[in-house]
Chain A
Amino acid sequence: MYRALYIWMFDYIKEANRKTIAKEYAEHLWSVMLPAVFPLYPKWTEFLDTKYESTVVKRDLWNCLYDFAIEIKDDLTNYDRHSGAWPVVIDEFYDFCAHSDANNNNQQTQEH
């Protein structure tokens, strides 16, 4: 049920003559709807601030993000970059997480 609501929200917010919604609106909506179901939500906001360059959010990304939130584990071990058919933005998010994890590990070893 929640998923259906989430999917529907896109159309609710979207303007009639457009196909996408503004990034700002998407971010607001996400901040309300996602944290409860999306453990990596903080990382996602970080990603949006640093790496996500577009000013709009497409429907496909909106929809798939929910599935990503639900299906993929915190440590991203069950993410299939090759056959997963995830949108390219989500692939980039995956890379972003992997990269920052590596950095954290490096920092930790350096501190030691």
Chain B
Amino acid sequence: SIRRGARKLWKRSRTMASGSGSGFDFNNAGLTREKAEKIWKDLRAAIVEIQNSNAAELRFEELYRNSYTLVLHKHGDLLYNGVQEVVKENLMRVSDEVNATANPQLLGTIVDKWSGQMGHKLVMTMVQDILMYMDKTYCRLKKKEPVYSMGLLQFRDHVIMRGNVSQRLKVLLLDCIHKERSHENVDRLLLKKCLSMLVDVNVRNTDVYIRVFEDDLLKTTAEFYMHESQMFMSQNTVSDYLKKIERRILEEEDRAATYLDKSTHPKLRKVVQEELITKYAKQLVENKSSGCVHMFENDMVDDLNRMFRLFSKVPRTLEFIRGCMSKLVKDTGTAIVQDPVNLKQPKLFVQKVLDCRKKYDNFVKKAFNEDRIFTRDLKESLEHFINLDSRAAPAQYLSLYLDEMMRKGMKGMSDEEREKLLNDVISIFRYLQDKDVFEDFYKKHLATRLLTENTADRDHEKRMISKLKAECGHQFTSRLEGMFNDIKISAENMVAYRNQRKRDVGVEMNVTVLTTGFWPVSNMERCNLPREAQAAAEEYKAFYASKNSGRRLTWQTHKGTAELQCTFKRGKKLLVVQTYQMVILMLYNKAQRYTYKQILELTNIPEKELRRHLLSLAHPKRRVLKKEPNIKKLTHKDTFTYNHDYNSQLYRVKIPLMQARPETKENKVPPAVAEQRKNWVELVIVRVMKTRKTLDHNSLMSEVMKQTHRFAVKPVFIKKRIESLIEREYIKRDKKDRGVYHYLA
């Protein structure tokens, strides 16, 4: 069957089988050598005509038939060798012409001879058409190269590889590419055709292409870019260098796509990337004046993105960028965490940590396309410096920050802003190692807020709780809900109480009853309430007992506030004070002056608290009591006198209480939390052992670690708990193998 396109080459001949043309013999009686050679001679002439672009007058079917005949009558050798010979002869002439052509025209000429209007490829196509039968039978049988490819290979041998043509081609081709790289114009189509020629001419593989062109292309490319990158590096900032090489890389991609063979693309890419990126990756990142640190510090998102994109082509270079980012985050963060200024102000501390996180989060999103490994590295770096401090200070600071925000910091913020703030806190919470320390503080602060703040709108409190619940699990909020409930019920109780009160006791009270177990534990010590307060307290107690039998109420006098109407020379004032302060001040109904020692004995308030409450009353800024000597230091002999000269602009005055120092300044994790941790680990050990009955040491250790998420647990810690449980006979060691434990029911 003839290719459709080939029909165009051949003039349609209407005469088919009916026997025109000379020498046709249907007689199957064999073909003599003489006759065969005659047929061949005709064929040969026809081929020469084709080679001379005179195919117009030839008749395809006749030629086909002739070659068919020859092959059929076992004259295939004659035919094949003859064809080979005539092709060679022609090519020799072509070769002479090519060799004589000067360099400027060489590419054009050889391409024309190859694939031009009456070029070799076309000639061979037509020859193949005629000899198709030979291809299918003789060539297959004798394992000879089919005609078309035989022709191509001959072109290779007699035109390209003859003389110094291949060297000249090589030089010319590489020269063109160099020109293009130097931003001159070249004839790309011609190059493409020439390179295709080199590829096709070796039929089965690209060896000629590689030998004549590709090997040297890669070599010269490497040299070119080695030189160029050296120059760029020495004369440019990192960001300019990246811009330049980005352009170069795009150019090379374009070149490859336009006229280089596909097989060259990956090899070329590799060379270019090696010279421009890989060699200098580390240097680029670590450049002191314009490298990554500079870019991070100056918010150069686009440049970092460019660097990321370029480095992504050679993925292992990305680790330099990541390394730089991680180190920078850790260093910046460590500076924040260790700066004494920050350590004094929780709000500042948290704000700075948040800012740091936001900044680098932004980089990861915008510059690094949210790459997974970058995201992971950032997370690790943040976790690293946030948890550097083994005293779990960040956990405490975060909770202090949250407390401040909840109390007053969020006034005037829109809903969106509040939501964002809570989310920020949660995001830092996630990085904390000592999550349980945070929770502990959070609960304490929440309890205080619930008791002292009068916010009717507890919305944001509830939202925070639900966020923490999402992070920590259901367990976390169960008791918190109890706290809210207590508040609600106490309010209802107060209404009922006031309604049923028959006589006026003289002291207005507002009582909140806290269910033990829901609220954080605090050490309560009694004090001597003044008579009036005591009476009111008793009455409420009776009321409550009538409604809830079997419950015991204990007054928490270390909390709570009181409003006292006090008489001064300049008029009456309503002082809002802590309960203890109320107890102290009520003493002054009986006398004007007391020593510290006396106050201590009369009130029975714990000394540490007494100091704080008493000194607050005598504070220079609001001297409700006058202290002698008027210094901060407190001794038993100091006296406190009621200050009749006290005055204030307002009628209702809130007396602030000096802050107690944060409890965990010196210590490590708060003791309550430390205790909880011990219990937790023991609980897990017992639970695991109960299920498995027998378990080896390593498995037990890893199980415990797997189940502990809220704080970082060290192996030594677990070991100690195991030993404690052995001692208490919950588990025992195996008699034969010390490293195996058994559960003791």
Contacts and interface: CB of A to CB of B under 8 A. Distances in A.
Interface of A: 19, 58-60, 63-64, 67, 82-88, 91
24 contacts: A19-B727, A58-B727, A59-B727, A60-B723, A60-B726, A60-B733, A64-B738, A67-B738, A82-B715, A83-B697, A83-B698, A83-B739, A84-B738, A84-B739, A85-B696, A85-B697, A85-B733, A85-B738, A85-B739, A87-B719, A88-B716, A88-B719, A88-B720, A91-B716
Given A58-B723, A60-B726, A86 B698 contact: no
A86 B738 contact: yes
Interface string B696-737: 111000000000000000011001100100110000010000
B723 A88 contact: yes
Interface of B is mostly: helix
A88 B719 CA distance: 7
A64 B697 CA distance: 15
Contacts of A19: 727
Contact of B727 (A60, A83, A84, A85): A60
Contacts of A60: 723, 726-727, 733
B732 to A, nearest CB: 9
Contacts of B697: 83-85
A2 B733 CA distance: 20
Contacts of A84: 697, 738-739
Interface centre among A19, A67, A88 (most CB of B within 10 A): A88
Contacts of B726: 60
A83 B701 CA distance: 9
Per CB-CB distance, the 9 closest pairs between chain A and chain B, nearest first, are: A85-B697, A85-B739, A60-B726, A88-B719, A83-B698, A85-B738, A88-B720, A58-B727, A87-B723
Interface in B469-508: none
Interface string B272-304: 000000000000000000000000000000000
Nearest to A86: B738
A98 B464 CA distance: 51
Interface centre among B715, B726, B738 (most CB of A within 10 A): B738
A88 B723 CA distance: 8
A58 B725 CA distance: 12
Nearest to B697: A85
Contacts of A87: 719, 723
Interface of B: 696-698, 715-716, 719-720, 723, 726-727, 733, 738-739
Contacts of B720: 88
Nearest to A92: B716
A85 B733 CA distance: 10
Contacts of B698: 82-83
Given A58-B723, A85-B696, 18 more contacts: A58-B727, A60-B726, A60-B727, A60-B733, A63-B733, A64-B738, A67-B738, A82-B715, A83-B698, A83-B739, A84-B739, A85-B697, A85-B733, A85-B738, A85-B739, A87-B719, A88-B720, A91-B716
Contacts of B727: 19, 58-60
A86 B733 CA distance: 11
A59 to B, nearest CB: 7
A56 to B, nearest CB: 11
Contacts of A86: 738
Interface centre among A19, A67, A85 (most CB of B within 10 A): A85
A84 B698 CA distance: 9
A86 B719 CA distance: 9
Contacts of A82: 698, 715
A59 B727 CA distance: 8
Nearest to A84: B739
Contacts of A58: 723, 727
Nearest to A83: B698
A79 to B, nearest CB: 13
B116 to A, nearest CB: 78
B429 to A, nearest CB: 32
A88 B733 CA distance: 15
A84 B739 CA distance: 6
Nearest to B729: A19
Nearest to A81: B715
Contacts of B715: 82
A71 B719 CA distance: 21
A10 to B, nearest CB: 13
Nearest to B700: A85
A19 B723 CA distance: 13
A81 to B, nearest CB: 9
Contacts of B696: 85
Nearest to A19: B727
A49 to B, nearest CB: 22
A63 B739 CA distance: 13
Contacts of A88: 716, 719-720, 723
Contacts of B723: 58, 60, 87-88
B726 to A, nearest CB: 5
Nearest to B740: A85
A105 to B, nearest CB: 26
B734 to A, nearest CB: 10
A25 B319 CA distance: 60
Contacts of B716: 88, 91
A18 to B, nearest CB: 12
Interface centre among B698, B720, B723 (most CB of A within 10 A): B723
B127 to A, nearest CB: 80
B712 to A, nearest CB: 18
A35 B647 CA distance: 82
Contacts of A63: 733
B503 to A, nearest CB: 59
Interface centre among A59, A63, A84, A87 (most CB of B within 10 A): A87
Nearest to B715: A82
A11 to B, nearest CB: 14
Nearest to B722: A85
A87 B716 CA distance: 10
Nearest to B728: A19
Contacts of A91: 716, 719
A95 to B, nearest CB: 11
Nearest to B726: A60
A86 B696 CA distance: 12
B736 to A, nearest CB: 11
A88 B718 CA distance: 10
B573 to A, nearest CB: 58
A55 to B, nearest CB: 15
Contacts of A85: 696-697, 733, 738-739
A84 B696 CA distance: 10
B719 to A, nearest CB: 5
A84 to B, nearest CB: 7
A91 B723 CA distance: 13
A67 B735 CA distance: 11
B724 to A, nearest CB: 9
B290 to A, nearest CB: 46
A82 B696 CA distance: 13
Nearest to B741: A85
Nearest to A87: B723
A38 to B, nearest CB: 16
A85 B723 CA distance: 10
A87 B727 CA distance: 12
